[in-house]
Amino acid sequence: MNPYKPFNVKIRDILTETEDKSLKTFTFEFASPEDEAAFDFTCGQFGMLSIPGVGEIPIGIASSPTEKPVVKFTVFKTGRVTTHLHNMKPGDFMGIRGPMGNGFPMGRMEKKNLLIIGGGFAFTTLRSLVEMILQPQNRDRFGTVDVIYGARTPGMLLYRDELEAWEKRSDINVHITVDGTDDPDWAYHTGFVPMVTESCAPKADGNTMAIVCGPPVMIKFTRPVLRDLGYGDEEILMSLENRMKCGIGMCGRCNIGQELVCGDGPVFTLAQLNRTPGEF
Amino acid sequence: MNMIRVTKQAVATALAKASKSYAIAGPVKAGAGHEFRCLGQGQVPDLEYTHTRLSPKSLLFPQAEPMFHFKLPETTGEPGDTPPAFLEAESFKEAPLAVVGLRPWDARALDLLKLNFDSPDYTDPFFIKRYNAMVRVGLADIHPDPENFSLAAGSGPFDEASVDILLADAGDAFIGKVITGKGRDFAGAAGFEPGSPDDAKAFAALKAAAEKEADILPACDRINDADTLDLYHADFWEAAAFSCINCGACTFACPTCWCFDIQDEVNQGKGVRLRLWDSCMTDLYSAHASGHNPREKGFQRFRNRFMHKLKYFPDKYGAGIMCVGCGRCITQCPGGIDIREVMAAMNAAAATVQQEVSP
């Protein structure tokens, strides 16, 4: 088997997520049922979006395994491949390799209360996680679920319709915030994610895990808040990214010390990361 | 005894015989030095060579390797209704490749590469097919270069661990040992003569002399036990990297460096996805699309390379350091950086930290 050869996929749908059009969610379907079965993923894993003639990029899977047969990726337009992808149309074919990485440690998270903290477009794999948890067959496997999600402005929030639907449910506490807005009718929080965490997050009780995905500055200021709330480094999960080429642990570049983000990660506990040189 | 003997005049005939069942590769003159090449019919490796500029890793891990081909969908303006075809790369020659004349440490390097390309989770089909099909006819080094510290790096001028046959230059003939079944098959195909008990003695004497000559420095005994972060934060890195221009010569010359890039090439609707040697010395190697780079500064990349070879790799695999002591990086570095000095600095830093923590 050639692990560098992608599966054939077709773009079924493209949704522009943000007001500046820099983020789009691509829904893919597999060309063959064998490939669809082979792409057997869990929340927190990623895939290589592969455009022949252009290149490949590692992107976290934004859909839940419960949304199969389709798989979704939310992509920020920033480089050569993402720019090309943003110009593609529904019906176009391309490739996907994966799934890759360890994903969230479901075994450790089950029966626990979850504090899910996301910022900006790092929210994608968290969306996968929340969507999976909220399925009726899965909801009882977890305790309370608190989601804190922030973006720069209301128009930069991903998955607006879903956030509103989650807001209406009683089995999940959603705390949405924006850095700032001039909308007088804005009904949610205003302020940075660490501040909202400070005021809304449940205190650590030995049975809660915090899952944090966001830009470095958000992570930097959220860490002391979580520490003050009593979260230990083993109870804090973070999903990382580094430049990658192969995604299967061979090309070398995504290392943080001896850990590879592609294979040993992308999800690490803060305790694990404290033992590495932190090159991410 | 599994001793064999082949006179120098008979090498060409023996290899011609072997070439009926094996493809042959070996060191040949190229430019000012020698390089490993697959040999054509009648071409004989130059077994008088001292060293090659590049290592024989390219025989398993070519500098550019097609991983698969593809055809782009027709650009009709309509969405293509057929998926792009991802076609397997042409399979390379299946005939077992006999590498004649590779040094024992270069052979060990191939085994270290395997740790990366054949993991419990993924196997690289290109590497592993060639690895399994390769026969390694080693050539001991009776006069190691002054830059060679292979003995200290877990190999040595007469290391038998990673070769199928080990030959040594005994003047008018090569005498040697058959080490594996693969080696026995090759010796049979080449029609090597059996060696005598005297050959065995001569071989042992050559080995003793070469190992005596070999530089056994540097010590890196403390690096293993040292804490990764203590070594990483040691204060010598910037000074040690001062003359490094991040050119990457060390990474290309190195027999154990395996990093690669993946790039597409397209010509008239037909494309190929290539795997290409890459170097951790360049800033693009680890730069994110956002512009953020976890190893933005040259000395950080320098540190990552040596930490990888001397700390991360040994910790991860328990197979010793990711260096076989060939000395290529020492002779080819334009900045005069010597990995032995970096090892010594790391060892010294480890010692300092250990002293600080002990009462």
Q: Rounded to a whole number, what is the distance in angstroms from the first to the last CA of chain A?
A: 31
- Residue B38 touches partner A, C-beta closer than 8 Å: no
Angle (CA) A250 A251 A255, round 5°: 90
Lowest mean pLDDT among A54-58, B59-63, B215-219, B251-255: B215-219
State whether A53 and B68 contact (CB < 8 Å): no
Return the higher-pLDDT residue of B29 and B351: B29
- Report how far residue B101's alpha carbon sits from residue B123's, in angstroms, rounded to the nearest whole number: 28
Q: Among A92, A243, A257, select the one facing B287 at the smallest CB separation.
A: A243
The tally of CA atoms less than 13 A away on the side-chain side of residue A43 is 22
Cα radius of gyration rounded to whole Å, chain B? 23
How many inter-chain contacts (A to B, CB under 8 Å) are there? 139
Q: Which two tokens stand for residue B124?
A: 């690289």
Any chain A CB within 8 A of the CB of B115? no
The burial of B77, by beta-carbon neighbours within 10 Å (0-12 exposed, 13-18 middle, 19 or more buried), is given as: exposed
Give pTM, 2 decimals: 0.93
Mean pLDDT of chain A: 95
Question: pLDDT value at position B1?
Answer: 47
ipTM score for this prediction: 0.92
Cβ <8 Å between B83 and A253: no
- Reported as a single tens digit per residue, the pLDDT across A175-186 is 999 999 999 999
CB contact under 8 A, A93 and B67: no
Residues of A in contact with B81 (CB under 8 A): 91
Q: Sign of the C-alpha dihedral, residues B225, B229, B235, B238?
A: positive
The strand order across the sheet containing A208-213 reads: A189-190, A173-178, A145-151, A113-119, A208-213, A236-239, A267-269
State pLDDT tens for residues A75-134: 999 999 999 999 999 999 999 999 999 999 999 999 999 999 999 999 999 999 999 999
A3-47 confidence digits (pLDDT tens): 999 999 999 999 999 999 999 999 999 999 999 999 999 999 999
Report the helix count and the strand count for chain A, using DSSP H and E.
Answer: 9, 15
| Distance, first Cα to last Cα, chain B | 55
Q: Do the chains contact at B260 and A10, CB–CB below 8 Å?
A: no
Contact yes or no for A5 and B316 at CB 8 A? no
CA angle A245, A248, A249 (to 5 degrees): 90
Name residues 254-273 of chain B within 8 A of A (Cβ): 258-264, 266, 271, 273
Binary contact (A257, B122; C-beta < 8 A): no
Distance from CA of A162 to the nearest CA of B (A): 27
Task: Give the closest residue to B89 by CA, choosing from B40, B48, B125.
Answer: B125
Flag if A242 and B294 touch (Cβ within 8 Å).
yes
- Residue B265 CA to residue B258 CA, distance in Å, equals 22
Res B86: pLDDT: 77
Residue type at position A180? G
Beta-carbon contacts of B144 under 8 Å, excluding residues fewer than 6 positions away, are B150, B157, B210, B213, B214, B215
- A197-255 pLDDT, tens digit per residue, is 999 999 999 999 999 999 888 998 999 999 999 999 999 999 999 999 999 999 999 99
Neighbours of A43 (CB within 10 A): 25
Contact B259 A52 (CB under 8 A): no
Mean pLDDT across B59-76: 84
How far lies A225's CA from each of A202, A276, B204, in Å?
A: 11, 22, 67
Cβ-based contacts of A92 with chain B (< 8 Å): 73, 79-80
Mark yes or no for CB contact A258/B278 under 8 Å.
no
Interface residue B121 vs chain A (CB under 8 A): yes
Averaged over B142-168, what is the pLDDT?
A: 93
Nearest neighbour of A93 by CB, restricted to B83, B313, B316: B83
List b or e across A120-150, with b for residues whose CB sees 16 or more CB atoms inside 10 angstroms: bbbbbbbbbbbbbbbeeebeeebeebbbbbb
**What digits encode the pLDDT tens for the residues A141-179?**
999 999 999 999 999 999 999 999 999 999 999 999 999
Strand-pair category, A236-239 with A208-213? parallel
With 60 as the cut, is the pLDDT of residue B359 above it? no
Of B123, B259, B264, the CB nearest to A54: B264
- Helix runs in chain B, H state only: 11-18, 104-117, 125-133, 181-190, 197-213, 228-232, 237-240, 249-253, 298-307, 313-317, 328-332, 339-357
Between chains, do A78 and B88 touch, taking CB under 8 Å as contact? no
Quick one: CA dihedral A69, A74, A80, A83, positive or negative?
positive
Residue B347 has pLDDT above 70, yes or no: yes
Q: Does residue B88 contact residue B127 with C-beta atoms inside 8 Å?
A: no
What's the Rg (C-alpha) of chain A? 18
Nearest CA in chain A to B266: A53
Closest Cα in chain A to B87: A5
**Residue A49: which region, alpha, beta or left (left: phi > 0; alpha: psi -120 to 50)?**
beta
Q: Residue B287, class by beta-carbon neighbours within 10 Å (0-12 exposed, 13-18 middle, 19+ buried)?
A: middle
The nearest alpha carbon in chain A to B65 belongs to: A4
B125 touches chain A (CB under 8 A): yes
Query: To 10 degrees, the CA torsion angle through A108, A114, A115, A119?
Result: 70
Q: What residue in A sits closest to B91 (Cα-Cα)?
A: A2
* C-alpha–C-alpha distance, residues A134 and A64, integer Å: 10
pLDDT band at B76 (very low <50, low <70, confident <90, very high): very low
Q: What is the pLDDT of residue B290?
A: 87
How far is residue A86's CA from residue A22's CA, in Å, rounded to a whole number?
Answer: 9
Q: Do the Cβ atoms of A3 and B124 come within 8 Å?
A: yes
Residues of B in contact with A5 (CB under 8 A): 67-68, 86, 88
CA distances from B334 to B70, B184, B244 (A): 40, 43, 8
Q: In angstroms, rounded to a whole number, what is the distance separating the alpha carbons of residues A258 and B319?
A: 14
With 90 as the cut, is the pLDDT of residue A56 above it?
A: yes
**DSSP code per residue over B242-259:** TT-----HHHHH-SS---
The answer to whether residue B94 scores a pLDDT higher than 70 is no
